[in-house]
Chain A
Amino acid sequence: MSSFDAIIPTQANAVKSSGSPPEYKSSTKKFEVFDAALRVLLFATALVAIIVMATSKQTKVFTLLPGMTVLVVAKFDQSPAFIYFVAALSVACLYSIITVVLSILASMKKGGDTSNLHFYFMMFDVLLLGIVASATSAAGGVAYIGLKGNSHTGWAKICNVYGSFCFHVAASIVLSLISSITLLLLVWLSIYVLFKKITRR
């Protein structure tokens, strides 16, 4: 932890930045607002994606013989990829709540040095971006097989039978794609602000 203190700007630099001209302060305020807005969007899309995936259960009635009916259920927890998807998006949701609260608290602090916080946010953002992207893609791969089937391995498609389940899964994957793009924009914004601060000096 002590090595991080050497990297992250200390209070001396913060004193330098508090004497900066007002237009620099207003532009960083704009970026902070944009940052908080993106995090709220991340929270919203992750939450809705989880809810849509969790409520995707569909039951179909099959009549094998006249008088003998079988109920077959399609749920998201029948596939490990969808379980991983829900778990990863829950982590993203929780992370977005924590970071929205922390960044609002940090921006309200007068004359405070927020570089420390933004550094840690950026690291965790990149990590979470990888996790959410892999979850989206895993669910997408399995859902594609469910949609089209695979004749070479003998895996039959299921979306012709379970239409509503497939629709829920597709909507959920599109939402998580939006949340991973939001995370990407968040990291790009942080990098842009950082590089602008460097070229300014």
Chain B
Amino acid sequence: MDLQYKEGINNGRIGGVKRTDLALRLLALVLTLTAAVVLGVNKQTTTVAITLSPSLPPVKLPVTAKWHYMSAFVYFVIVNAVACAYTALSLVLTLATKGGKKNVSSMVVIFDLLMVVLLFSAIGATGAVGLIGYEGNSHVEWQKVCHVLDKFCHRVMTAMGLSFIGSVAYLLLIVFAVINAYKRL
């Protein structure tokens, strides 16, 4: 078993780590970083025209939306930042140990799973809150805000989409790790 493993060391590997593993980790790093940044600098100021009475011209009120006004968005940015930092750390670790140490690779799989859970939950929360902002909720009298703050909502959706692809990358990392482990069984 050991001899077979040593023969396949340069087979589809860069520096001892599998090519797909490396590519997925880089993709996840870039995507989570971008998602955190896109939502972290999200800000929009527009004006809303309100007619107080028919005789007077409509009054323009400034409306500001910042990302930290909503707790779900704060959670999203934090989770994506943590995922990005963890990916950088795991990239460094797997390249440093050349994919050889069993302890490091099993710990990396365990924490990859944690990242999947956190990222999926962040996307779910942002999606739910974004949906309320998009459609409102007539039963509880929560008005929709996306018809006024359209650029803000578009950036939220972009960040969500990027983070979703990043979390799928983490999922694939776990799937490939398990498949490779079964191949060696």
Mark A residues whose CB is within 8 Å of B: 7-9, 13, 74, 78-81, 84, 115, 119, 122-123, 126-127, 129-131, 133-142, 144-146, 148, 150, 152-156, 158, 180, 184, 187-188, 191, 194-195, 197-199, 201
Q: How far is the CB of A62 from chain B (nearest CB, A)?
A: 13
The answer to the question of B56 belonging to the interface, with a C-beta cut-off of 8 Å to chain A, is no
Nearest Cβ on chain B to A176's Cβ, whole angstroms: 11
Instruction: State how many angstroms separate the Cβ of B83 from the closest Cβ of chain A.
Output: 14
The answer to whether B71 and A153 have CB atoms under 8 Å apart is no
Sample of 28 A–B contacts (CB below 8 Å)? A8-B182, A79-B137, A115-B185, A126-B113, A129-B120, A130-B167, A133-B117, A136-B121, A137-B122, A137-B125, A137-B128, A139-B128, A140-B125, A141-B72, A141-B126, A145-B129, A152-B69, A152-B70, A153-B69, A155-B132, A156-B141, A187-B113, A188-B113, A191-B106, A191-B109, A194-B185, A195-B106, A198-B102
How would residues 101 to 134 of chain B score, 1 for a CB under 8 Å from any chain A CB and 0 otherwise?
Answer: 0100010011001101110111111111101110
Nearest B residue (CB) for A153: B145
Residue of B nearest to A72 (CB): B139
Given A155-B142, A191-B109, A138:B124 Cβ within 8 A = yes
Report B's interface with A, CB cutoff 8 A.
Answer: 1, 65, 69-72, 75, 102, 106, 109-110, 113-114, 116-118, 120-129, 131-133, 137, 139-143, 145, 167, 171, 174-175, 178-179, 181-185
User: In the complex the two chains form, is B185's CB within 8 Å of A197's CB?
Assistant: yes
Contact call A78/B120, Cβ cutoff below 8 A: no
Given known pairs A138-B124, A142-B132, the reply for A188 and B178 (CB within 8 Å) is: no
Chain B residues whose C-beta falls within 8 Å of the C-beta of A136 in the assembled complex? 121, 124
Contact A144 B120 (CB under 8 A): no
Q: What residues on B are CB-neighbors of A146 within 8 Å?
A: 140
Instruction: Please tell me if the beta carbons of B132 and A122 are within 8 angstroms of each other in the complex.
Output: no
Once the chains bind, are B110 and A7 in contact (CB under 8 Å)? no
Residues of A with C-beta under 8 A to B128: 80-81, 84, 137-139, 141-142
**Cβ of B182 and Cβ of A142 under 8 Å apart?**
no
B149 to chain A, nearest CB (A): 9
Q: Which of A81, A134, A142, A154 is most buried by chain B, counting CB atoms within 10 A of its CB?
A: A134
A194 and B120 in contact (CB under 8 A), knowing A78-B137, A142-B128? Answer: no
Closest to A142 in B: B128
Name the A residues within 8 Å of B70 (CB-CB): 150, 152-153
Q: Which 6 A-B pairs have the closest CB atoms?
A: A134-B124, A137-B121, A138-B128, A141-B125, A81-B128, A78-B139
The chain B residue with its CB closest to the CB of A146 is B140
Q: Which of chain B's residues has its CB closest to A131's CB?
A: B120
Specify which chain B residues have a CB less than 8 angstroms from the CB of A152 in the assembled complex. 65, 69-70
Q: Is B69 within 8 A of A130, CB to CB?
A: no
- CB pair A195–B140 under 8 Å, yes or no, is no
Q: Which listed residue (B102, B122, B140, B182) contacts A7, Cβ 8 A? A: B182
Q: A126-B113, A141-B129, A158-B140 are in contact. Are A9 and B124 (CB under 8 A)?
A: no
Shortest CB-to-CB span from B50 to chain A, Å, is 13
- Known contacts: A134-B123, A195-B181. The answer to whether A153 contacts B175 by CB under 8 A is no
- Contacting residue for B174 out of A9, A126, A141, CB 8 A: A126
